[in-house]
Amino acid sequence: MPLVSAREILRPGRVAFDVIQLEQLTAVIDGAQAVRSPVLLQISRAAVRYHGALAPIAAAALAAAKSATVPVALHFDHVDSLSRMTEVVELGFGSVLFRVSTSDLAVTREVVEYCHRNGVWVEAGLGGRVDPANAGEFAAATGVDTLAVGARDGMPDLDLISRLRRRTGVPLALADCPVGTDGELVAAVRAGIMRLTCADLVRRVFADGVMEYRHRNPAVHDPCAYLSAGRDRLAAEVSRILELHTVA
């Protein structure tokens, strides 16, 4: 199955899983393949800091995506400089979150035009509690493909999501998913969220698998053993989440 763009697989409740290392990205693909679901692999600035550069983890993600048996799109979260944007596009990412303010219309429009010339989907993160009227004007003026909204007190703001969806006319993304709130996330999708992001959940579930294995097997120091435990735990959770939002 070839690597695809976010545009090709976007639908209500599509999930992007934020990965930092190889075991996590292969777990996400394994989990998606188990339930035959398209998925987005997300790489963020945290992964760049961890590896010291974007290219190594991007190359691994692209290779894994191209060998998957389900459609996999590669998303970068989030770009806050034009030099990073150029790198992301040249490395082969299919979509990107560009962190801006509502006053940066000219810069954002330039970024959107550049990305669209290269077949890249652009998501704008406006930050804070966004005013729907301003967001609607911003979307119309810049031509962004998606707007990202945050959570309020750790939970999706369903009223804001509904008003933004009506006012902007573009798909919405939830910047990060709270852990253990399946009902709230399903409600957010029904209110208008097209793309969900799981970052903290990926790290917690993977770490739980590793730590549980080490607790039960303190004499085993082979990373192939305990990292595999984390990968398997995460793959199962990825499958569960993808099935949840397929049903929703």
Strands annotated E in the chain: 14-18, 39-44, 72-79, 95-99, 121-125, 146-149, 151-152, 155-156, 172-174, 193-198
Active-site residue, from 77, 145, 157, 176: 77
CA-to-CA separations, 148 to 13, 135, 144, 171, in angstroms, rounded: 14, 10, 11, 9
Q: With beta carbons less than 8 A apart as the criterion, state whether 36 and 42 touch.
A: no
Q: At how many degrees (to 10) do helices 105-117 and 82-91 cross?
A: 10
Burial class for 77, CB neighbours closer than 10 Å (0-12, 13-18, 19+):
buried
Active-site residue, 176 included: no
Residues 6+ apart with CB under 8 A from 244: 182, 185, 186
Q: Which residues are catalytic?
A: 77
